Amino acid sequence: MKTIGSKLGTAVAAAALAVTGFAGAAHAEGELNLLTWEGYTDESFVSVFEEQSGCKVTPTYVGSNDEFPAKLAGGGGVYDLVSPSVDTTTILMKAGLVEEIDVSRLENWDQVFPQFSSHSGVNHDGGVYGVPYTWGAIPFMYRADSFDEAPTSIAQFWEDESLNGKISLWDDKTNIYVVARMIYGNDVNVYDLSDDQLAAVRDKLIELKPAIRKYWSTAGELVNLYANGEVTISNTWGGYQSALLADEGIEMIEFIPVENADGWADAWQIVKGSPNTDCAYEWLNFSLSPEGQCGVVGITGYSGSNPEALGTCKTDEEMMMLHMDDFGYLDSLVLWQEPARVDAYINTWNAVKAAQ
């Protein structure tokens, strides 16, 4: 695991490389511009890909799924591949911003977890529009040194006054899901809430605002909030930020509350009109290969989409820790999908942030 400092160093080096890139790209056959999350194009395995394929990778990072449709709809002609979560991939497919993927060109497609390869987020009109890469949960986590008793339910956020001003939530509409389960029980279909239910969730989230220190929007921001002693509990991209904090000597404990946790999966999509499709398919194949899967899982701490590929570098125990050996865990999570009325959900989250 790398520290934030060395990550910054890598980013600066990557930026410098991007500027002077042409000098070193003598044998490059093409270029790939990736719009993706922190950690998904780490130098440690991207260098292997560049060596193998001759395609040069230039990543741009996003802080939330919002940015994928925004950048592509705004004429994002420079990107070849994007890696949104499976609740956003559908928006890009329906808007015609991404291309259908020819799975016959993918060597390891059959090895992908079927929950992902058959997910509505990558299938549209009988075609495949995304290649699942990583997955995980959105659990909650807390600072081990700040709690005598382990929290078990998010209902404590509203009841426990000692948490006042110590809570951080992701600045994202997905907060609606877990709060809806808190109000209506874990069986409610969080992707098809009625107007009344959305209003109740909104009021509950507004009621919590005085106890919120900050809504976090990037991995680094949440890490800093903990490292600077601003907050003690939050939701998190399971496995990633807690590991970054462990590097800074802060012990974090992740937990799945009684309200259950969302599951997420990210998939690579080819941007419509990308001139570098050969390199794009090289990347898609690499992303499902042992090098690609082991690389990204090693850096982010997330789970991978191809258990066979991961099995080549992980012990049975490690595979168990990553929940790569059982479908049960994955099925127990509420895997993200595009809400039936996505506008109403976004409006609800905006209303929470706007409220006085």
> Within a 13 Å sphere around the CA of 346, how many CA atoms are in the beta-carbon half?
9
Q: Give 105 or 124: the residue with its C-beta nearer to another protein.
A: 124
Q: Give 16 or 355: the residue with its C-beta nearer to another protein.
A: 355
Taking CB under 8 A as the rule, does residue 78 contact another protein? no
Exactly one of 19, 23, 27, 74 binds another protein (CB under 8 A); that residue is 74
Contact 270, 330 (CB under 8 A): no
Taking CB under 8 A as the rule, does residue 95 contact another protein? yes
Taking residue 326's Cβ as centre, other Cβ atoms within 10 Å add up to 11
Give the end-to-end CA distance of the chain in Å, rounded to a whole number.
41
Distance CA 114, CA 124 (A): 16
- The per-type count for the chain, helices as H runs and strands as E runs, is 16, 14
Q: How many residues bind another protein (CB under 8 A)?
A: 34
Angle at the Cα of 85 from the Cα atoms of 82 and 90, rounded to 5 degrees? 85
The 215-244 contact track toward another protein, x by CB under 8 A, reads x-x----------xxx--------------
Taking CB under 8 A as the rule, does residue 213 contact another protein? yes
CA distances from 325 to 22, 71, 291, 332 (A): 43, 36, 19, 14
The 333-352 contact track toward another protein, x by CB under 8 A, reads ---------xx--xx--xx-
Nearest CA to 239 among 260, 258, 259, 263? 263
Taking CB under 8 A as the rule, does residue 124 contact another protein? no
Exactly one of 15, 73, 246, 320 binds another protein (CB under 8 A); that residue is 73
Judged by CB under 8 A, which stretch of 26-34, 62-70, 122-130, 266-274 contacts another protein?
62-70
Q: Which residues bind another protein (CB under 8 A)?
A: 64-67, 69-70, 73-74, 88, 91, 94-95, 165, 173, 209-210, 212-215, 217, 228-230, 342-343, 346-347, 350-351, 353-356
